[in-house]
Structure 1
Amino acid sequence: MKKKVIPAIIIIALIFIIGGIYALQIVYKHYSYSTEKADLNEYFDIAGDSDVAIILGNERIGERAFLIDDTYYMDFDSVQKYLNDRFYYGQADGTIVYTTATKIITSEIGTSSWSDSDGDSGDEGYIISRMEGDTFLVALDYVKKYTNFSYEAFTEPNHIQLTTSWEDQQIATIKKNTQLRKRGGVKSEILEELSAGDTVVILEELEDWVKVKSADSYIGYVEKKRLENETTFSPIPVTDYTPEEYTSLTREHKINLGFHNIGGYAGNETLIAYIENTKKINVLCPTWFALKDNDGNINSIASAAYVTSAHNMGIEVWALVDNFTGGDGFSTSEVITHASSRANFIENVVARTLEVGADGVNLDFETVAAEDGQSFVELVRELSIACRKAGLVFSIDNYVPMNFNDYYDLEEQGTVADYCVIMGYDEHYAGSAEAGSVASLSYVENGIINTLKEVDASKVINAVPFYTRIWHTSGGVLSSEAVSMKVAKEYISSHSIAMEWDSEAGQNYGEFTSSDGTFNQIWMEDATSIGQKIDAMRASGIAGIAEWAIGMETSDVWDEIAEFVEE
Structure 2
Amino acid sequence: MKTPQTPERRKKRSRIVTRSFGLLLAVAIAGLFTYYWFENYYPNGERVQPDFGGLAKPVFYRGEMLKEEATGENDALKLPLAFMKEKVDPTIFHETATDSVIITTQDKVLRMKTNALTATVNEKPLTLKFPIVKKGDHVYLPIDPVKQLYGMDIRESEETGVVIVHLQGDTVQWGRANGGAKERPVAMRREPSIKSPIVADLQPDEEIMLWPEKDTEEWYYAQSKAGIVGYVRKKDVAVDRVETIPPLVDPEPFVPWKPTGGKINMTWEHVTTKNPDTSKIGPMPGLNVISPTWFHLADGEGNLKNLADASYVKWAQSQGYQVWALFSNGFDPKVTTQALATYDKRMKMIKQLLAFAQLYKLQGINIDFENVDLKDKAKLTQFVREMTPLLHEQNLVVSIDVTTKSTSENWSMFYDRTALAQTVDYMMVMAYDEHWASSPVAGSVASLPWVEKSIVQMMKEDRVPASKLVLGVPYYTRIWTEQTKNGKKEVSSRAVFMETVVKLIKDKGLKPTYSAESGQNYVEYTEDGKLMKIWIEDETSIKARIELVHKYDLAGVASWRRGYETPNIWELVKQTLEKRSS
TM-score, normalised with respect to structure 2: 0.78
The aligned counterpart of 2:113 is: 108
Secondary structure of 1:145's partner?
helix
- Whichever of the two has the greater Rg, that structure is 2
| Contact 2:132/2:140 (8 A) holds in 1 | yes
Q: Offset at 1:250?
A: 0.9
TM-score, normalised with respect to structure 1: 0.80
Unmatched runs of 5 consecutive residues or more in structure 1: none
Question: Structure 1 residues 179, 368: closer, same or farther in 2, change over 3 A?
Answer: farther
Q: Does structure 1 residue 561 correspond to structure 2 residue 573?
A: yes
Paired AA for residue 148 in structure 1: G
The aligned counterpart of 2:192 is: 184
Q: Does structure 1 residue 424 correspond to structure 2 residue 436?
A: no
| Contact 1:246/1:415 (8 A) holds in 2 | no
The aligned counterpart of 2:299 is: 293
CA distance in 1, matches of 2:217, 2:12: 54
Q: Offset at 1:196?
A: 3.5
Q: Alpha-carbon deviations, 1:318-354, whole Å to 9, x = none?
A: 22120116x79x6222223334333432333343444
CA distance in 1, matches of 2:79, 2:489: 55
Q: Does structure 1 residue 307 correspond to structure 2 residue 326?
A: no
Paired AA for residue 451 in structure 2: L
Q: Does structure 1 residue 136 correspond to structure 2 residue 146?
A: no
CA distance in 2, matches of 1:237, 1:357: 43
CA RMSD after TM alignment: 4.1
CA distance in 1, matches of 2:100, 2:494: 46
| Contact 2:56/2:69 (8 A) holds in 1 | no
The aligned counterpart of 2:233 is: 223
Q: Offset at 1:257?
A: 1.0
User: Within 5 Å, which residues of 2 pair with 1:505-544?
Assistant: 506-508=519-521, 524-544=536-556
Q: Alpha-carbon deviations, 1:27-58, whole Å to 9, x = none?
A: 222332233456743xx5x25546x3432x35
CA distance in 1, matches of 2:522, 2:49: 71
| Contact 1:172/1:202 (8 A) holds in 2 | no
Question: Structure 1 residues 343, 511: closer, same or farther in 2, change over 3 A?
Answer: same
Paired AA for residue 150 in structure 2: T
CA distance in 1, matches of 2:65, 2:537: 52
The aligned counterpart of 2:167 is: 164
The aligned counterpart of 1:203 is: 212
Question: Structure 1 residues 2, 251: closer, same or farther in 2, change over 3 A?
Answer: closer
CA distance in 2, matches of 1:15, 1:563: 104
| Contact 2:297/2:303 (8 A) holds in 1 | yes
Question: Structure 1 residues 166, 308: closer, same or farther in 2, change over 3 A?
Answer: closer
Question: Structure 1 residues 20, 2: closer, same or farther in 2, change over 3 A?
Answer: same
CA distance in 1, matches of 2:513, 2:89: 53
The aligned counterpart of 2:5 is: none
| Deviates most, 443-452 or 528-537 | 443-452
Question: Structure 1 residues 142, 236: closer, same or farther in 2, change over 3 A?
Answer: same
Secondary structure of 1:276's partner?
coil
User: Within 5 Å, which residues of 2 pair with 1:129-528?
Assistant: 129-154=132-157, 159-166=162-169, 171-176=174-179, 177-198=185-206, 199-201=208-210, 203=212, 208-216=217-225, 217-228=227-238, 230=239, 233-239=241-247, 242=249, 244-253=251-260, 254-265=263-274, 267-269=275-277, 271=278, 273=280, 275-276=281-282, 278-324=284-330, 331-400=335-404, 408=415, 417-429=424-436, 438-439=445-446, 440-446=450-456, 449-450=459-460, 453-455=463-465, 457=467, 459-469=468-478, 475=488, 482-487=495-500, 499-502=513-516, 506-508=519-521, 524-528=536-540
Question: Structure 1 residues 469, 178: closer, same or farther in 2, change over 3 A?
Answer: farther
Question: Structure 1 residues 210, 100: closer, same or farther in 2, change over 3 A?
Answer: closer
Q: Offset at 1:293?
A: 1.4
Paired AA for residue 189 in structure 2: R
Q: Offset at 1:546?
A: 1.0
CA distance in 1, matches of 2:80, 2:537: 50
Secondary structure of 2:212's partner?
strand
Q: Offset at 1:104?
A: 4.5
Q: Offset at 1:69?
A: 6.9
| Deviates most, 387-396 or 21-30 | 387-396
Paired AA for residue 335 in structure 1: A
| Contact 1:174/1:200 (8 A) holds in 2 | no
Paired AA for residue 441 in structure 1: V
Q: Offset at 1:22?
A: 2.9
| Deviates most, 478-487 or 399-408 | 399-408
| Contact 1:401/1:450 (8 A) holds in 2 | no
Aligned with residue 123 of structure 1, among 121, 128, 131: 128
Q: Offset at 1:206?
A: 7.3
User: Within 5 Å, which residues of 2 pair with 1:24-63?
Assistant: 24-28=33-37, 29-37=39-47, 40-41=50-51, 44=52, 46-49=53-56, 52-55=58-61, 57=62, 60=64, 63=67
Question: Structure 1 residues 428, 4: closer, same or farther in 2, change over 3 A?
Answer: farther
| Contact 1:149/1:162 (8 A) holds in 2 | yes
Q: Alpha-carbon deviations, 1:230-258, whole Å to 9, x = none?
A: 46x4423335x655444344134332111
Q: Alpha-carbon deviations, 1:371-396, whole Å to 9, x = none?
A: 43443344334444554454544333
The aligned counterpart of 1:8 is: 17
Question: Structure 1 residues 214, 49: closer, same or farther in 2, change over 3 A?
Answer: closer
| Contact 1:99/1:382 (8 A) holds in 2 | yes
Question: Structure 1 residues 302, 7: closer, same or farther in 2, change over 3 A?
Answer: same
Name the % identity.
23
Unmatched runs of 5 consecutive residues or more in structure 2: 1-9, 180-184
Q: Alpha-carbon deviations, 1:60-100, whole Å to 9, x = none?
A: 26653332577544443542342235543343322223456
Q: Alpha-carbon deviations, 1:201-222, whole Å to 9, x = none?
A: 2616978513332334555443
